[in-house]
Structure 1
Amino acid sequence: MTATLHPPVLSGRDFLSSLDLTPQDYRAVMDTAHAMKRGEFRGQKPLDGLTLAMLFEKASLRTRTTFDVAMYQLGGHALTLTNQEIGLGTRERVSDVAQNLERWVDGIMARVYLQSTLIELAQHASVPVINGLSDSLHPVQLLADYQTLEERFGDPRGLKITYIGDGNNMANSHIQMAVLTGADVTICTPVGYEPNGKVLIDALAAGARVTLTSDLEAAVSGAQVLYTDVWISMGQEGEAERKRRAFDGYCVTPQMLDRIDADGIFLHCLPAHYGEEVVPEATEHRKSRVFDQAENRLHAQKALLYHLMADRQPRW
């Protein structure tokens, strides 16, 4: 028997940051994602007649594919727009792009260089705007990550998560998720490569359990979840050699995974730069859930789209 979808809880809102959700919102999205993965709503089309515009300043495999497939499975349509076609902030003002798109589509997902671009889109568009990645945050990835964690551990409250590597958008997003979920997050990065200071200070002020350290051995030992990301993000290629020197020793290997909790798991948001932050044997390790994590981009984003857009009426 097909289950009935619960009413959407995020109707018309933007999702630019994990902290755009309350703990109750998070629980509703996660419960929907788990149920969708189990196939409980198979065949239902709650976004029938709705369209999502997908804006890409940065290349994408997982974000593009999973949002596109998610809209199709929910009965909607996804439209891909590259920066060569739009020219956000160059060929056209961001505010103009937003005010055009809001008249044609029911939601906007943007994968961009700057968080400020997303904020401007959201300020000028009356439809939901979703952060598909920016220089500051990657919240849709964290939804998939935490779905993967819940599949293994259940409630993430108190879960010992160690992120090692660059203090980039992924590190910032892990810190925000500590606020939202109560997970115990350690960010391990070399001196000089720490995450955004305001993100960290705000999280600590909110009571989150976040530790910042450069002690790799202590951070890895006994962790229930070990997480890494590329050291050199798109647009940072000029810093490659300097970062490789700074992060020497931070590469995740099978030997490192042997030092985490016996029942622990390894995650990487992909793509992997093998030989830098990780070796292939780590993503293929028995503790790796990297490809389950990638699969969950589809289920988590499908749940997010449902909760943001399902109350909208088709335009035709």
Structure 2
Amino acid sequence: MALRHFLTLRDLSSLELQRILDRAQELKRMQHSNTVYQPFAGKVLGMIFEKSSTRTRISFEAGICQFGGNAIFLSPRDTQLGRGEPIEDSARVISSMLDIVMIRTFGHDIVERFASYSTVPVINGLTDDHHPCQLLADLQTFQEHRGSIEGKTVAWIGDGNNMCNSYIEAAHMMGFKLKIASPEGYEPQARFLSEFADCVEVFNKAEDAAVNADLIVTDVWASMGQEEEQKLREKAFSDFQVNEKLMDLAHPDCLFMHCLPAHRGEEISEHMLDHKNAVVWDEAENRLHAQKALMEFLLNENLKKD
């Protein structure tokens, strides 16, 4: 059996994705009831961070520790990766000493190259093109609050960024309709849209996407590496704030999510995180449970290979 990685959602089948979501809910119940479950004692997760993070680091490190394993944090400042060692060489060495690797970086080609030379599973903790781990948490959160997302309508409001790209894949895999509202010039790239025209619509007005939505999701206007564009983006995105008025266009029980960190007064109104239908804190916590389910899946798949 070939080594399994998780670089985009489509590294899983739709059935496997649903299994992981169901397992995440089970692991959450176990953790909340203080059930000790440590199937991976002695296993070591390597976490390579070229982009900083709060939720990604804490959730992965806590997750492997709760499984009885350990985590090693690696940054470019601490390793030869930051001094020009080829990714292929680093992948061979790092994977020979670890059991699973998570990478949070810029170019998606970096995780692809690392995975192609790795002897252990590699997880994409975020790249400029995809953020599949966040989608696991979002899908789990919707499922635990509203049941199956199949047949529902999701509105993505804002930049056609890595989160948006992963939502496009999720729509295809989980059978929901995705309505994307982005300012002109900030829509998702055509290469991410063309394959999924049957389940995705793109609008240039937030209101058009929000109508009758079952879930509204947004993200910051300027992601990491785009800070110099902040003022330009503030102007372009000024009509794309998620606020109480926009939520009123959706179904009355429409959920609101944001992957955080949030900039109140920009992409969301001042009190949007406290909206009665906001599930942002559950969404953040579910990074832990969804990624535990993912790591369990990949580590067990690797054991089958051996």
Q: Aligning the two structures, in what range does the TM-score lie when normalised by the shorter sequence?
A: over 0.9
Count of residues in Structure 1 that have an aligned counterpart in Structure 2: 301
Q: Is the 2:181–2:203 contact (alpha carbons within 8 Å) kept by the matching residues of 1?
A: yes
Question: How far, CA to CA, are the matches of 2:249 and 2:182 in structure 1?
Answer: 18
Which residue among 280, 283, 286 is the counterpart of 1:290?
280
In structure 2, do the counterparts of structure 1 residues 256 and 128 end up closer, same or farther at CA, with 3 Å as the change threshold? same
How many Å apart are 1:262 and its aligned residue?
0.4
Q: Does residue 116 of the first structure (1) align with residue 109 of the second (2)?
A: yes
Matched with 2:119 is 126
Deviations 1:190-249 (A, max 9, x none): 111111211111223xxx411111122221122110100011011111111111111111
Question: How far, CA to CA, are the matches of 2:245 and 2:202 in structure 1?
Answer: 23
Question: How far, CA to CA, are the matches of 2:68 and 2:84 in structure 1?
Answer: 32
SS at match of 2:165: helix
Range moving further from structure 2, 181-190 or 88-97: 88-97
Return the letter of the residue paired with 2:215: V
Q: Which runs of 5+ in 1 are unaligned?
A: 1-9
Matched with 1:15 is 6
Question: How far, CA to CA, are the matches of 1:297 and 1:159 in structure 2?
Answer: 22
Deviations 1:29-76 (A, max 9, x none): 111101111118932211111111000001100000000000011111
Question: How far, CA to CA, are the matches of 1:249 and 1:187 in structure 2?
Answer: 14
Identity of aligned residues (%): 39
What is the Cα-based RMSD across aligned positions, in Å? 1.7
Range moving further from structure 2, 252-261 or 295-304: 252-261
Question: How far, CA to CA, are the matches of 1:293 and 1:31 in structure 2?
Answer: 15
Matched with 1:46 is 39
Matched with 2:238 is 248
Which residue among 46, 50, 53 is the counterpart of 1:60?
53
Q: Is the 1:46–1:310 contact (alpha carbons within 8 Å) kept by the matching residues of 2?
A: no
Q: Is the 1:175–1:199 contact (alpha carbons within 8 Å) kept by the matching residues of 2?
A: yes
Deviations 1:98-148 (A, max 9, x none): 011111001110000110100010011111110000000000000000000
Question: How far, CA to CA, are the matches of 2:171 and 2:73 in structure 1?
Answer: 32
Q: Which has the higher helix share?
A: 2
Q: Does residue 26 of the first structure (1) align with residue 26 of the second (2)?
A: no
Question: How far, CA to CA, are the matches of 2:10 and 2:89 in structure 1?
Answer: 27
Q: Is the 1:257–1:287 contact (alpha carbons within 8 Å) kept by the matching residues of 2?
A: no
Q: Does residue 234 of the first structure (1) align with residue 234 of the second (2)?
A: no
Question: How far, CA to CA, are the matches of 2:2 and 2:145 in structure 1?
Answer: 30
Range moving further from structure 2, 74-83 or 41-50: 41-50
Which residue among 70, 82, 85 is the counterpart of 2:75?
82
